[in-house]
Amino acid sequence: VLFYDCTYFTRKEILRLFYRYRDLAPQLVPLDYTNQPDVKLPYELIGSMPELKDNPFRQRIAEVFSEDGEGNMTLDDFLDMFSVLSEMAPRDLKAYYAFKIYDFNNDDFICKSDLEKTLNKLTRNELTEDEVRMVCEKVMDEADLDNDGRLSLEDFQHMIVRAPDFLSTFHIRI
């Protein structure tokens, strides 16, 4: 099994994931993957999975893990996503992808607008402008180690690996 070394899954789980993938669109995905068809599932299907349906960041997750950056996923991307989000994946790997997820404009830095977006998604826009601004300032204050007004990957990792809840919340069981 080649996927075995690339993911944190056992064979059974990979098979199960494959069936899950297939069940999303049985008419699109063939059962037989021997000659590697070029199949992509659109984001609407991926985002409607029960595991992702209620996640405020589902679109970002799909975008980050898909190869085209639009949220359309091949089987490889799909496996990759759930491998990173599995329990077995190490902290650093998870932190890397969490950073990518929270980096809304893909500029390799989490800047203020990214923070605001994150916060609004988390609270469903229930905080006032002032509160949002204040929280973002506090976050910058805490985590921005080099004071350049945005969080780089290193800042983010530095902060996130110390978080007690990160490992227990940043995973999806499937």
Q: Is residue 2 within the footprint of other proteins (CB under 8 A)?
A: yes
> Between residues 102 and 104, which has the closer beta carbon with respect to other proteins?
102
Site for other proteins, residues 44 to 83, rule: CB under 8 A: 50-57, 67, 76-77, 79-80, 83
Separation between Cα atoms, residue 40 and residue 74, nearest integer Å: 5
Query: Do the Cβ atoms of 137 and 150 come closer than 8 Å?
Result: no
- As beta bridge partners, residue 110 has 151
Q: Is residue 32 within the footprint of other proteins (CB under 8 A)?
A: yes
List the beta strands (DSSP E) in the chain.
none
As measured in angstroms, the least distance from the Cβ of 130 to other proteins is 9
Backbone angles phi, psi at 105, to 5 degrees: -100, 15
Q: Is residue 26 within the footprint of other proteins (CB under 8 A)?
A: no
As measured in angstroms, the least distance from the Cβ of 146 to other proteins is 6
In this structure, the chain runs to a length of 174
Site for other proteins, residues 110 to 169, rule: CB under 8 A: 115, 118-119, 122-124, 126-127, 131, 134-135, 138-139, 142-143, 145-148, 154, 156, 158-169
Separation between Cα atoms, residue 26 and residue 21, nearest integer Å: 9
Q: Is residue 28 within the footprint of other proteins (CB under 8 A)?
A: no
